[in-house]
Amino acid sequence: MSTDRLIDAVLDAVAEAFADDRAAVEPLLDDLAAARAHADHMRHAPAATDYGREQAAAALDLAREDLLDVLELPEGTAP
């Protein structure tokens, strides 16, 4: 599957899940956005430790996984 088609499939799945159960998906999107912002901050913060960067990256991975768990992705698009 091409990258463009994969992106389209994921965005469609997010939109469908959001429309079906906004109360379940909205906090997951918020968590993902917050985890992304924190990971970006930790990556560029001069005082951040390697441990802090690793923890922020792990939290971002977990937020992604939590969101992917509720999406109904087409066959061949799930990680």
| Model-wide pTM > 0.85 | no
Name the H helices within the chain: 3-20, 22-44, 50-70
pLDDT tens, position by position, 12-46: 989 999 999 999 999 999 999 999 999 999 999 99
> Nearest to residue 74, comparing CAs of 2, 12, 4?
12
Alpha-carbon distance 73 to 55, whole Å? 28
